[in-house]
Amino acid sequence: MPASTPTPLPVLTLEPGQFYFSIDGIPSLVFSRNVAGYQQAHYATFLDWAKEGGTRIVRIQLDSLGMGYTSKGEMDPNWALQWGMVFDLAEQDGIYILPVFSGWFDWNAGQGYSTWNTNQLNAGNGGPVKDPAELFQKGSPTQQLWLKWMKAVVQHWQGRRNIAGWEIFSEVNLASGAEEVAGIDFVNQAAAIIREVDAHKRPVTASIADTGTWPNFYRAADLDFINIHPYPPSAQLDRAILSGVRKSLAAYQRPVLIGESGLSAESPAKYPPNAEVGVRHAIWAGVVSGAMNGRGLYWEDSFAIYFAADGMPWLTKYKKMELPAALFASGVDFSGFKPLVAISSPGVWGGAIGNEKTILGWYRDAGSEPPDWPLKDSISGETVLLEVPGAIADWQIDFYDTKSGTDVIGSDTFSVQGGKVTITLPDFTDDIAFKMHIVP
H or E segment to which residue 240 belongs: helix 237-252
Tell me which residue of 77, 16, 11 sits closest to 225, measured CA to CA. Answer: 16
Q: What is the structure's pLDDT at 185?
A: 98
- Within a domain: residue 208? yes
- Helix (H, G, I), strand (E, B), or coil: what is residue 108? coil
Shared domain for 274 and 355, answered yes or no, is no
Q: What is the structure's pLDDT at 112?
A: 80
CA angle 143, 266, 241 (to 5 degrees): 85
Tell me which residue of 406, 386, 383, 304 sits closest to 342, measured CA to CA. Answer: 386
Residues paired with residue 394 on neighbouring β-strands, in sequence order: 415
What is the b/e burial string over 377-389, where b = at least 16 CB atoms within 10 angstroms of the residue's CB? eebeebebebebb
Shared domain for 257 and 364, answered yes or no, is no
Q: Is 1 exposed, middle or buried (0-12, 13-18, 19+ CB in 10 A)?
A: exposed
Shared domain for 304 and 406, answered yes or no, is no
Q: What is the structure's pLDDT at 207?
A: 98
Distances (CA, A) of 341 to 126, 135, 240, 350: 57, 44, 17, 11
Task: Give the amino acid at 415.
Answer: S
Task: Identify the domain containing residue 275 by its residue range.
Answer: 20-329
* 3-class SS letters over 340-393: CCEEECCCEEEEEEECCCEEEEEEEECCCCCCCCCCCCCECCCEEEEECCCCCC
Task: Give the amino acid at 181.
Answer: V
Pure H helices in 72-230: 77-92, 141-157, 180-197, 217-220
DSSP string covering 402-438, please? TTTSS-EEEEEEEE-BTTEEEEEPPPBSSEEEEEEEE
User: Which CATH number is 413's domain given?
Assistant: 2.60.40.1180
- Within a domain: residue 417? yes
Shared domain for 203 and 293, answered yes or no, is yes
Shared domain for 305 and 421, answered yes or no, is no
- Within a domain: residue 1? no
Distances (CA, A) of 209 to 169, 214, 338: 11, 9, 25
Domain boundary among 306, 329, 352: 329
Q: What is the structure's pLDDT at 417?
A: 87
- Within a domain: residue 12? no
Q: What is the structure's pLDDT at 4?
A: 61
Shared domain for 304 and 201, answered yes or no, is yes
In whole angstroms, how large is the CA radius of gyration of the chain? 22
Shared domain for 122 and 244, answered yes or no, is yes
Q: What is the structure's pLDDT at 17?
A: 94
DSSP string covering 292-304, please? SEEE--STTTTGG
Shared domain for 182 and 106, answered yes or no, is yes
- Within a domain: residue 57? yes
**What's the domain count of the chain?**
2
Count CB atoms within 10 A of the CB of residue 46: 25
Domain boundary among 295, 311, 329: 329
Shared domain for 26 and 86, answered yes or no, is yes
- Within a domain: residue 35? yes
CA angle 56, 297, 117 (to 5 degrees): 110
Shared domain for 316 and 355, answered yes or no, is no
Domain boundary among 329, 352, 376: 329
What whole-number distance in Å separates Cα of residue 173 and Cα of residue 248? Answer: 18
Q: If the chain, 440 residues long, is cut into consecutive pieces of 10 residues, what is the mean pLDDT of each piece?
A: 70 96 98 96 96 98 94 95 97 97 95 90 96 97 97 97 98 96 98 97 97 95 98 97 98 98 91 94 98 98 85 93 98 97 98 97 98 97 96 93 98 92 97 96
Shared domain for 101 and 165, answered yes or no, is yes
- Within a domain: residue 43? yes
Shared domain for 170 and 291, answered yes or no, is yes
Q: Is 388 left (phi over 0), alpha (psi -120 to 50) or beta?
A: beta
Torsion, CA 202, CA 203, CA 208, CA 210, rounded to 10: -130
User: Which CATH number is 32's domain given?
Assistant: 3.20.20.80
- Within a domain: residue 34? yes
